[in-house]
Amino acid sequence: MATAAATPGGFRAPDDQTFLGHPRGLAYLAFTEAWERFSYYGMSALLVLYMVNQLLLPGHVEHVAGFAGFRATIEGIFGPLSTQALASQIFGLYSGFVYFTPVFGGWLGDRFGQRNAVIVGALSMSGGHLAMAFDQSFLLALLLLIIGSGLLKGNISAQVGSVYPPEDEERRARGFAIFSTGINFGAVVGPLLCGFLGERYGWHIGFGAAALFMLGALATYLSGYRYLPARVERKARPVSAPLTPNDRRTIAALIAAMAITIFPHIAYYQLANVLPVWLEQQANMNAGGFQVPIPWYQSIDPLFSIIALPLLFALWQWQARRRHAEPSELLKIATGSFICGGANLILVAAIALSPGRVLWIWPFLYCAVQGIGFMYFWPPLLSLVSRAAPPKVNATMMGSCFLVLFVANNLIGWIGTFYEQMSPLGFWLLHAGIGATGGVFAILFGRTLGRILEAVGPANVSKE
């Protein structure tokens, strides 16, 4: 007869059912997230090209339910927009709100159960991907995807820790690493398959593939239902004292650090918005007789983020031995900003030196360098906030990090509306400058912010 291990909230899972030495529930969570991210990134890789080349053109846009009123609202705020500018603005709004709704999704999950929230979120996302298969339901599709992602994203992450007993901290940390591998796998493979199908056999075939994998995610989650707790219970906490003046200074310093990372985010995330349009117009995609599908470029930066991780760990350890300290989080953020800005200079140089269309290898290098830059600014920001935020607001501050993505993606969409008004060289040079600005700000204010944040000890880190 199977024994059972108690986890937070009284949930008991059979401990003779393991996955790589971890609770069985982790396998279902990791594979669910892999298929969900597969569908999300696969669909996102097609989105802008689909809008520019089909949906927003005459003969199609008139059939999108509710689009006339939606466009009137958008242009009432931003002014008249061309097809490409409108596509950029829609992409920015969509990708921004995907990172805004998890705030509410987590709140609902805490009150009605994370397992219920994940199931409803997966159903909503499945419906959204299916709705993308038809021009008429485009706006409904985006709405369902935004709502579904909000319900699923934070709640499934919360469940990862809940499948372990409270004292099993070491395996829990490794479990999150396995879970993150699922995210990276989906981010790499999704654009490869959906992008190939979308470009070769039609946009809706690519979206249909994303829908199938989202349904697969739902089926995977439901098949592991009995291994997962219905609700992640939080430890009872005594009523804590109000925030001190030092706490408030720390919070202000963290908000400043978050604001600085908006700059590298803009320099980085434009690869999912304007880059596909630029590749279609300006790049030679012929690689030895094979026409490289443009959506495949969305797989390059997450792939190089995976490849770079052990190399960066080794580099930081070497720097720690030489300088008796690993580079601070703020210095890493500055480095990431300069790397992402410098990646844009690859496109600037390629445009300046190419007599005709830019060879496919140069945007490949651009995406690869962006993937390395991302590892310098986003994980260090999460680490900094987790370490330094006062315990009373630690979880709130961690959630606020994702509001950086909300702001950055909306700005990316807005800046992308100026692409047709500028030369390609000028547009990518602008993004090189935006990335460099973030690096300069991180260096200028790093010493002041560092004095505030480096004084915060481990005791201030939340143990949730």
Considering the entire predicted model, what is its pTM? 0.86
Q: Kindly tell me the number of DSSP H helices and DSSP E strands found in the chain.
A: 15, 8
**Greatest mean pLDDT among 25-29, 75-79, 162-166:** 75-79
- Cα angle 409, 191, 434 (rounded to 5 degrees) comes to 30
Alpha helices in 132-168 (DSSP H): 138-162
What DSSP letter does each residue of 58-93 carry, written as one string? TTTGGGSTTHHHHHHHHHHHH----HHHHHHHHHHH
- Tens digit of pLDDT for each residue in 399-417? 788 899 999 999 999 999 9
318 within a domain of the structure (yes/no): yes
CA dist., res. 295 & res. 48, Å (int):
10
pLDDT of residue 300: 95
* Higher pLDDT, residue 53 or 458: 53
Domain of residue 171: give its range.
22-233
Tell me, what DSSP letter sits at residue 241?
P
Among the candidates 205, 233, 261, a domain finishes at 233
304 within a domain of the structure (yes/no): yes
370 within a domain of the structure (yes/no): yes
Q: Considering only 316-330, 331-345, 381-395, which range has the smallest mean pLDDT?
A: 381-395
- Tens digit of pLDDT for each residue in 274-287? 999 999 999 999 99
10 within a domain of the structure (yes/no): no
CA dist., res. 129 & res. 43, Å (int):
8
pLDDT-based confidence at residue 2 (cuts at 50, 70, 90): very low
Task: Please state the rounded mean pLDDT for residues 215-233.
Answer: 83
8 within a domain of the structure (yes/no): no
3 within a domain of the structure (yes/no): no
pLDDT of residue 270: 95
Exposure b/e, 296-330, CB count within 10 A at least 16 = b = bbbbbbbbbbbebeeebeeeeeeeeeeeeebbbbb
Indicate if 227 and 248 belong to the same structural domain. Answer: no
CATH number of domain containing 294: 1.20.1250.20
Indicate if 173 and 256 belong to the same structural domain. Answer: no
Indicate if 172 and 264 belong to the same structural domain. Answer: no
Number of domains the chain is built from:
2
14 within a domain of the structure (yes/no): no
H/E stretch holding 376 reads helix 361-388
Indicate if 93 and 135 belong to the same structural domain. Answer: yes
Among the candidates 233, 257, 273, a domain finishes at 233
Indicate if 63 and 84 belong to the same structural domain. Answer: yes
Among the candidates 181, 205, 233, a domain finishes at 233
pLDDT of residue 459: 34
15 within a domain of the structure (yes/no): no
Question: Quick one: tokens of 399?
Answer: 């959630």
Indicate if 249 and 219 belong to the same structural domain. Answer: no
Question: Quick one: tokens of 189?
Answer: 């493979």
Whether 462 has a pLDDT exceeding 70, the answer reads no
